[in-house]
Amino acid sequence: MAAESVLGTSLGVFVGVTVGLMGFAAWMTGQALGRTWKPAWHAVVYGLLLGLGDRFLTYALFGGALSSPLGYLVDTLVLIAVALVSHRAAQAAKMVSQYPWLYQRAGPFGWRAVGDDRG
């Protein structure tokens, strides 16, 4: 009951539509932006738009609340977080693959100078 009042829909619909379907779209958006060297704030803008699409799909397919400001905020924050994580992972992979003589992988989201043994 409490989750429905916050999300504007059931928890199952939130997981299926927001995390599953639109989360995949946010992941691919972040990947595309990271691979083309776009700044991270672009992922935030696209996340806001994906949040609108998510609200509409939730409303049109499952009868969720279309004008739920709190639901939109939660959905959009999840999608922006997914897009930003994906953007950073894509940029880390791009730095290492494009400049292998300068950088080596330092985890899934980072890189370090070749020969730098710290970290």
| Structure confidence by residue, pLDDT tens digits, 11-48 | 999 999 999 999 999 999 999 999 999 999 999 999 99
Residue 12 vs residues 60, 80, 116: alpha-carbon distances, Å: 16, 20, 46
* Cβ-proximal residues to 101 (8 Å cutoff; 6+ apart), any chain: 114
Query: pTM, whole model, 2 decimals?
Result: 0.90
Q: CA-CA-CA-CA torsion for 6, 7, 12, 18, nearest 10 degrees? A: -150
Number of helices and strands in the chain (H, E): 5, 2
Does the pLDDT value for residue 67 go beyond 90?
no
Q: What is the pLDDT of residue 119?
A: 54
